[in-house]
Structure 1
Amino acid sequence: MAIGPEAPAAPQRIVDAVLFDTFGTVVDWKSGVADAVEAIAYRYGFEVDAAEFALRWRARYQLSLEPIRSGAREFLTLDELHRENLIATAEEMGLPIERIEAADVEWLNRAWHRLDGWPDSVPGLTELKRHFIIGPLSNGHLALLTNMAKHAGLPWDVIIGSDVTRCYKPDRDAYLGAARLLDLPPHRVMLCAAHNSDLAAARSAGLRTAFVARPQEYGTTQQSDLHPTEAWDVIARDIRDLATQLRDHITA
């Protein structure tokens, strides 16, 4: 027979790890890339719409991943794909990239390593880190994500690059591979993203889901992902709000 009052039940978390889509969800890629394009254009005396260049560079991103997802092309990191897409975008926009020194082309290509977080990202992640394993579940590779974390002060517990899982979202194995690496069943892992399609793929793989809106990701004319399109497990205003909702669930 037990002696004394019954011990209170331990607080229950709905997940053990909260992983994040990174480009657009955690960091502002458009501003960072446009700033780098503008700096190079100024240095070399080129005329270019830096914001439009950033948008067109990014627009080639998913198209360049598809041959790798389908198995038609061997795995390449985002640095390699970004460089190919940079050259193609420069040709499309009439930017004479052949006149730019190789070191400056490399610096421009690595703009994706030097992106700043949204204002709520670091405080929200810091709060989440108190209760959950946090890290990126991104198509970025380990070096890129590590450099980005150092630049932006992102307090990850773990970084799982696409070069570790050897696949790109929304491939099912990208989500399941992250869960396996953390030794967690998929339902104990949550993906937070500003992109409904990413969350749909994560849910189909068995992960929990959280939506945060980033209506300025593509600038003032953005028309997609302004609102959640499904009843995700959590719908939050930003990462700080996500931290509050998940913390309140623990303490309720």
Structure 2
Amino acid sequence: MRDFSQIKVLAFDIFGTVVDWHSSIIQEIEIMNLAIDANQFALDWRTGYRPAMDKVLASELPWTSIDDLHRMILDGLLIQYNINTLNEEQITHLNHIWHRLSPWNDSIEALKQLKEKYIICTLSNGNIRLLVDMAKHAKLPWDYIFSAENFRAYKPSPKTYLGVAELLNVQPDQVMMVAAHYDDLVAARACGLLTAYIERPLEFGSSRINGVSPCVDNDLHATDLLDLVRLLDNSF
């Protein structure tokens, strides 16, 4: 096994890696008794996420928080799905479902164990208030919350990955990026970070199962976050 004793920081992607956004949104839609395909609504909402961020990256939009981007996407979906019964308070509450996402079953216990040996932090495109609310709601025991908002840059900008190392006063190769998305890990490796891939085959629900084949470029490949604990423990 490779020696990872130099690792000081584990930086976690959040949406899909630590929390189950898909099931959480479906549950919210069902609670609100909206007569729509909740699965497809959740998928459509998430599909709009990257194009909206790309508009910011391309300077087509000024710096915009993820909360505001989520609301822009949601406003379009309310028209698309012909949802016209919600008042502003209800729409705002629905938009803030992203603050109340539920963790995967393995997340909290794994984070508690990892926290004993490492600095554990978020590195998410979610804005700071969203990540704080989510941590309180889901009882996620972060040592620190890093957001794209800290750096005024969205992942995969190098400012985000290198910013974590700089602000925590460590070298990039003392940080391991943990994510369920290969593009996130590719960008992190380009900045000198170590990378751990987490399998989340059901991130998009059972109708769209993710492929989780290993990538040889990642330093670790784990079936879930508890498996990551095991792999790191066995590396010493």
- 2:114 counterpart of 1:131: no
SS at match of 2:178: strand
For residue 95 of structure 1, report the CA deviation from its aligned partner: 1.9
Note if contact 2:114-2:229 (Cα within 8 Å) is conserved in structure 1: yes
Aligned length in residues: 234
- 2:34 counterpart of 1:39: no
SS at match of 2:221: strand
For 1:4, the equivalent position in structure 2 comes to none
SS at match of 1:230: coil
For 1:20, the equivalent position in structure 2 comes to 12
SS at match of 2:235: helix
Note if contact 1:195-1:225 (Cα within 8 Å) is conserved in structure 2: no
If the length of structure 2 is used for normalisation, what is the TM-score?
0.94
Note if contact 1:27-1:118 (Cα within 8 Å) is conserved in structure 2: yes
Q: What RMSD, in angstroms, separates the aligned Cα atoms of the two structures? A: 1.5
Note if contact 2:178-2:195 (Cα within 8 Å) is conserved in structure 1: yes
In the alignment, the residues of structure 1 paired with residue 164 and residue 60 of structure 2 have an alpha-carbon distance, to the nearest angstrom, of 23
Note if contact 1:69-1:171 (Cα within 8 Å) is conserved in structure 2: no
In the alignment, the residues of structure 1 paired with residue 207 and residue 191 of structure 2 have an alpha-carbon distance, to the nearest angstrom, of 32
The amino acid across from 1:18 in the alignment is L
Aligned structure 1 segments of 4 or more residues deviating by more than 6 angstroms: none
In the alignment, the residues of structure 2 paired with residue 228 and residue 136 of structure 1 have an alpha-carbon distance, to the nearest angstrom, of 23
Note if contact 2:102-2:138 (Cα within 8 Å) is conserved in structure 1: yes
Structure 2 counterparts to residues 195-210 of structure 1, below 5 A? 195-210=181-196
Task: Assess, with a 3 A threshold, how the Cα gap between structure 1 residues 249 and 230 changes in structure 2: closer, same or farther.
Answer: closer
For 1:80, the equivalent position in structure 2 comes to 68
In the alignment, the residues of structure 1 paired with residue 28 and residue 210 of structure 2 have an alpha-carbon distance, to the nearest angstrom, of 25
The amino acid across from 2:27 in the alignment is D
For residue 225 of structure 1, report the CA deviation from its aligned partner: 4.2
Q: Deviations over 1:212-239 (max 9, x none)?
A: 1000000113354422333310111111
Identity level (%):
38
In the alignment, the residues of structure 1 paired with residue 20 and residue 160 of structure 2 have an alpha-carbon distance, to the nearest angstrom, of 23
For 1:216, the equivalent position in structure 2 comes to 202
In the alignment, the residues of structure 2 paired with residue 149 and residue 110 of structure 1 have an alpha-carbon distance, to the nearest angstrom, of 14
For 1:194, the equivalent position in structure 2 comes to 180
For 1:70, the equivalent position in structure 2 comes to 58
Structure 2 counterparts to residues 1-252 of structure 1, below 5 A? 13-40=5-32, 42=33, 46-96=34-84, 99-250=85-236
SS at match of 1:159: strand
For 1:8, the equivalent position in structure 2 comes to none
Gap regions ≥5 residues in structure 2: none
Q: Deviations over 1:181-226 (max 9, x none)?
A: 2111111111011111111111111110001100000011335442
Rg larger in structure: 1
Gap regions ≥5 residues in structure 1: 1-10
Note if contact 2:121-2:146 (Cα within 8 Å) is conserved in structure 1: yes
For residue 249 of structure 1, report the CA deviation from its aligned partner: 2.1
If the length of structure 1 is used for normalisation, what is the TM-score?
0.89
In the alignment, the residues of structure 1 paired with residue 12 and residue 66 of structure 2 have an alpha-carbon distance, to the nearest angstrom, of 17
